[in-house]
Structure 1
């Protein structure tokens, strides 16, 4: 593999001259022809990462994710990557394993590598985040969370939860368990619960109990199992598909038939919800499409184009076999 030193030797110029040419600097026409001829003869290809680090403006977009073993994250990243390639940008991925301190540190690290912009798949936005955004002075786009001072692309968690709430109420359910997550996560922990509560407030004689668990399906299974020992709802509305999978397993281990004995809904639209039995009724978010929108938006910000402060992605309720129609049962 040829190097800048090899090109410089063949062209009869200094390495700094070759480097200046490769980075768009000023060189004479005669020198440019010599360097181009040497490059053509050797088939030399510049290292885009090393080259971009020397440039004032790179074509790298840093994307920070809380975890890699997530359907939502992987689909979002696929969308981001595909769209960035079409826009002649490259993706750098950094996983924080859901550690807030590491997330903040990564913002500064990516900025020091002179990425053109950062897409942050955030779980929460703290004062430390906002301070980092101000200090790095590069375009930032939040995905999944929002803050009034930062551009964001969010799933329509509130309206989606409202719609799934209306759906289970229309099916005749009035004794309900809502299995959510910590309210530190505004999108999943707060917005989804608030949207669901709005639907509940529109009907009378409805008993609802709210429980909190973790995003992990095994922890959700344990929580759902304990919950079912103290409360016997007709439906469990879960804040994510992983939680719903845990609840489904807990119910089955207790000998309950789904949906005959208890109904379950999820949130996300993961592929596995379609192939399990019974198929899970869920709110489908279009993560890949959201990733493409995120890529388009960050590139616009990098190029100093105006975009809306807040962009909403689409959702759809997918009706499968996990929810019983109690209205039909009462006929």
Structure 2
């Protein structure tokens, strides 16, 4: 078996400096011809950098965390919980933000693998074939958050049943014409499962043709979709796949002089702190994001110790009844 090569060996064989190889692995600028030379050596010798490894240590005590954005209350709760749990047990978190870009997300995963972190927690935008290929090939334990990863280990929100709960709630409160602002279906959990739950919940109360719109996760996207819905039909309720989208709905409805909830009810998902500051206070459904982070961190450490773990864990949710849904037709509604 050939001896393990070093970064200096890679540099020498590629005809470049060691600092250039280091820059290559850390995502710095290296011209394409040089990158190709380095990559050829890496592939030939199956070289993996060990940047964080301690001298004569088998573990780095670093856990990589990949998230879709840093500009999210849900993500911040998940990261806070992960970091706290791991820090108390002597581990350091290395966080990579993908900015809702699939290609960048894949690059971030590869970088963490190259840095030889002990394990990876990924709150994934979507589970693509490329994701699965990387996870299958790496020897590093991986736990997927917020997306169902049938071939591996995942921690997920109960998106379908949460969506169904909200759909039924809007049906039970007497609404007849409903708009739904969802997200793109590349995000299977929110874009498909949550939407399917909402639609099935509405259907149970005879609402079979809601006005559908799709957006990214942004405040601006929520505004755009609300305008589209209002232009298509007069609705008495708008369900939003996230609270941030609901914020956009509030803005447009208020600009058009429509009262919430007297003219149009609004409900979201997320339970953001800011949602309670809106006028009227937003009715929303809150997932246990801290619980997701805790379970993810606990699971990755169990995997590192070789302990058995559940293939799939589902976190709970809580319905928060604000004042943004018209309730005059609600009869003996049971929140639980």
Give secondary structure in 2 for the equivalent of 1:269.
coil
The answer to whether residue 78 in structure 2 is matched with residue 87 in structure 1 is no
Query: Aligned ranges for residues 209-224 of structure 1 at < 5 Å?
Result: 209-224=211-226
Mapping for residues 110-189 of structure 1, pairs under 5 Å: 110-189=112-191
The residue aligned with 2:279 is 277
Instruction: Return 5+ residue gaps in structure 1 as ranges.
Output: 1-48
Question: In structure 2, how many angstroms separate the alpha carbons of the residues matched to 1:156 and 1:207?
Answer: 24
Please name the residue that 1:75 is paired with. 77
Q: Against the structure 1 CA distance between its residues 144 and 272, is the aligned structure 2 distance closer, same or farther, given a 3 Å change threshold?
A: same
Deviations 1:16-37 (A, max 9, x none): xxxxxxxxxxxxxxxxxxxxxx
Question: Which residue of structure 1 aligns with residue 29 of structure 2?
Answer: none
Query: Which of 305, 309, 312 is matched with 1:310 structurally?
Result: 312
Aligned partners of 2:217 and 2:242 also within 8 Å:
yes
**Which SS does the other structure have where 1:317 is aligned?**
strand
Provide TM-score, normalisation by structure 2: 0.80
Contact 2:266–2:283 under 8 Å retained in 1 = yes
The 1:205–1:280 alpha-carbon spacing in structure 2 relative to 1, beyond 3 Å, is closer
SS across alignment from 1:307: coil
2:66 to 60, 64, 67: 64
Using structure 1 for the length normalisation, give the TM-score. Answer: 0.81
Cα distance per residue 1:147-204 (max 9 Å; x no partner): 2102000111111111111111111112111110111110110010111122123223
Q: Which has the larger radius of gyration?
A: 1
Separation of aligned partners in 2, 1:206 and 1:199: 10
- Give the equivalent residue in structure 2 for 1:23: none
Q: CA deviation at 1:206?
A: 5.0
| Alignment partner, residue 322 of structure 2 | 320
Question: Counterpart of 1:298?
Answer: 300
Count residues in correspondence. Answer: 281
> Using a 3 Å threshold, how does the CA distance of structure 1 residues 309 and 53 change in structure 2: closer, same or farther?
farther
Deviates more, 1:150-159 or 1:196-205: 196-205
Q: CA deviation at 1:140?
A: 0.4
Moved over 4 A (4+): none
In structure 2, runs of 5+ residues without a counterpart are: 1-50, 332-336
Task: Provide the rounded CA distance (Å) in 2 between the counterparts of 1:322 and 1:108.
Answer: 44
Evaluate the alpha carbon distance shift between residue 260 and residue 59 of structure 1 in structure 2; reply closer, same or farther with a 3 A threshold.
same
| Change in 2 beyond 3 A, CA 1:220/1:86 | same
What is the alpha-carbon distance in structure 2 between the residues aligned to residue 52 and residue 102 of structure 1?
28
Task: Report the RMSD for the aligned CA atoms in angstroms.
Answer: 1.7
Whether the 8 Å CA contact 2:52–2:117 is kept in 1: the answer is: no
Change (3 A) 1:283 1:170: same
